Homo-oligomer: A and B are copies of this chain.
Amino acid sequence: MISQTININHRIGIKSDISNVYEALSTIKGLSGWWTEEVSGDSNVGGKINFFFRSLTGELQGQMVMEVTKSIANQAVHWRCLEGPQEWIGTDFQFNLTQQGEHTIVLFANLNWREYVEFTSHCSMKWATFLLSLRSLVEEGKGRPAPNDIKIDNWN
């Protein structure tokens, strides 16, 4: 049997100092500015962060719990998914940062899906739009966190 890992990988550049990008990824307030408005928990290493996703009318549509497995100032924020969509549980999420001239480069990865399913494609597209939201937050002061996120298909 051939072992394959299925990953989502994106690269985005943000015209800002790396410390601003790290702050948006490593604090509860920062995360609530670009991924989903409703975030709580402990964003230190070993802590658990709760993300709640609601419809525009307030109905709970999804919830994720991420354990912070790494948080190194201006370098990296890593999570492991403890609760959420079945396909996400046990997979790893990484934001790795480098400063390159006027850009902070974010290498995003969601690693170790057990198999490719159509939901993988949905999440890949959706993460791309959330990275654009992260960029808007850092560059312009306003992101598009859920429930005002960009809808991408009929699974939103």
Contacts and interface: CB of A to CB of B under 8 A. Distances in A.
Interface of A: 2-13, 100-101, 103, 105, 107-109, 116, 118, 120-122, 124-125, 128-129, 131-132, 150, 152-155
Contacts of A7: 6, 116
A124 B128 contact: yes
Contacts of A5: 4
Given A2-B2, A2-B3, A116-B9, A125 B121 contact: no
Given A2-B2, A101-B154, A124 B121 contact: no
Contacts of A100: 154
A153 B128 CA distance: 13
